[in-house]
Amino acid sequence: MPFTPMTGTGAVITLATVAFEVADASIKLERESIECTPLSFFYKAYLAGRINGTMSLNCYLSAASGESSAQANFLSQVALGTTVAFTYSDANGANTYSGDCLITTYTQTTKGDSAEMVAIELQISGIVAA
């Protein structure tokens, strides 16, 4: 079977109703481990704990997608601690993740000779559907 590498170009994150084109992304899911070793055991024993997820994204800003109103909405949701729906889809749609998240960081960056970018950090809340 030949190997076909996937490209990140064309990945999209939708937060509430606003879609952003993703420049780069990192999705991290991890599970707690809870030690449950009796004192008489020589080796440690563990139970699987809860799953935690975070996402870090750098996205391109578009003049056509209502970014300023989106930023105001996201900042107010962060302040209120409410969740927002997200859907992340890679370039060819082979990997799609969706669920609810808290937007923990929303930073807009502007350079004179580059595209405007926004860095978004998300704390996933609840189940992630793949």
* pLDDT per residue as tens, the chain (130 positions): 676 666 666 889 888 878 888 999 998 989 999 999 999 999 999 999 998 899 999 988 876 655 666 666 666 666 667 888 999 998 777 788 899 998 888 888 888 877 888 898 999 988 888 7
| Single-letter code of the amino acid located at 64 | A
| Residues 117, 71: Cα–Cα separation, whole Å | 12
What is the reported pTM?
Answer: 0.76
Neighbours of 88 (CB within 10 A): 21
124's tokens: 């996933």
Least Cα distance to 103 among 114, 115, 118 occurs for 118
| Single-letter code of the amino acid located at 24 | D
Architecture of domain 12-129: Beta Barrel (2.40)
Least Cα distance to 58 among 113, 121, 110 occurs for 121
